[in-house]
Amino acid sequence: MGFWRKYHEMFTKKKRYNVDGRKLIVFDESKADDEIKNIIRESFLEVCKNDKIAKNFRVIKLVMQDKFVGMTTFGPTPVFHRGNDVSPAMLFHEELRQNEKMIHINIPKLEELFRYNYHGSASFMKKKICSIIAHELAHIWNFYVSNILSNGRKISGRLSNRISRLMKSVHISNEQKENLEALRVHIHNFKVAIMDEGLAKYYELASQKELPFEKSKFDELYVKAKNVSGDLKYMWGHYMGGDKWFESKLFSAITGRTGLYHHIGIHVVYTILYADQKISLDEIRKMSYFKFIKKYESCVKKEGQQPVVSLTSGKGILDYKRMLDQLMKLYNSLVRK
């Protein structure tokens, strides 16, 4: 754990709990009302008492905080930079790497969510917070069980690295360079994020018993994933064609701010489990993302539908290789100007 975090923890109000020999610690760094903080504490204890994943961890920490300023500078960065300050809960990569299972609750964001959606009903809030915590626990479990998530997130792939090298070597404006480089990183994250968010979202909904295996559920998740992918494809296509108007919308979608990865991910994971009833969630978790997407492609085909995503087959509405090729083309057109 980083020095600042350790220093900080010593002076922060905290409560310790003991559940079946496991330690649960709640840090209170928030100035919010006690009412909401009590609901969060109760939800955390309830989930950790019963949740299957939580039982794997000897110590789980939860921090209630109002600000995240400076947290990126002192080392920890939000896992995959997804959601960032817009999420009601966050994990930090650096902490997970140091074996800290610590869930950060973004209190202002949570209050905002409740202001608009739950009209102050404590039982609804509790249910929502429980599902948020289950979701984060699944992310932690993904991190430790799935290799692709813990491997330091190095960008791999010859084409992707070649594009990066080329981008650095030529004369286009800095802003253009930064945008293209950011997009290259985002398309890489895209593969990992679908898997990570898909597993977490699946776990979250399954733990609330909201995921029956039936055709109507399959259709519902498919349509949603198809729509968000179609939207992204549309914006991506226009931006790659040189239309700057789509820039901010495209960036907000591809960084996951519109829930893109949740919608695609839950559909992908659900489809695999729906089509192949013998496979377990942990078996999926241990797959490489290449195998994961291949498996998905064959499962969705079995259900008679076009894949929403693919890596290199070109069959998906979104195809990783196609997107990289288009990025390369845009880059070349900028260089020639």
Among 271, 255, 331, CA closest to 303: 271
Our CB check for Zn ion shows the closer of 197 and 319 to be 197
We find the least distance from the C-beta atom of residue 295 to Zn ion, in angstroms, to be 21
> In angstroms, what is the minimal distance from the CB of 263 to Zn ion?
12
Q: 3-state DSSP helix/strand/coil percent for the chain, to nearest 5?
A: 65, 10, 25
Nearer to Zn ion, 194 or 240 (CB): 194
Binding residues for Zn ion, how many (CB under 5 A)?
A: 2
Which of the residues 140 through 199 are near Zn ion (CB under 5 A)? 197
Nearer to Zn ion, 94 or 197 (CB): 197
CB of 200: closest distance to Zn ion in angstroms?
4
| Minimum distance from residue 106 beta carbon to Zn ion (Å) | 13
For Zn ion, give the closer residue by CB, 86 or 334. Answer: 86
CB of 178 to Zn ion, least distance (A): 26
Distances from the Cα of 8 to the Cα of 62, 69, 91, 293, 313, angstroms:
14, 14, 17, 42, 49
Kindly state whether residue 103 participates in binding Zn ion, applying the rule CB under 5 A: no
CB of 139 to Zn ion, least distance (A): 6
Nearer to Zn ion, 45 or 86 (CB): 86
Nearer Cβ to Zn ion, position 263 or 326? 263
Long-range Cβ contact pairs of 222-227 (< 8 A, separation 24 or more): 222/267, 222/271, 222/300, 222/305, 222/308, 224/263, 224/267, 225/263, 225/264, 225/266, 225/267, 225/268, 225/308, 226/308, 226/317
293 lies in the site for Zn ion, by CB under 5 A: no
110 contacts: CB under 8 Å, gap ≥ 6: 36, 40, 88, 129
Q: In the window 233-292, what residues touch Zn ion (CB under 5 A)?
A: none
Is there binding between residue 200 and Zn ion (CB under 5 A)? yes
**Interface residues with Zn ion (CB under 5 A)?**
197, 200
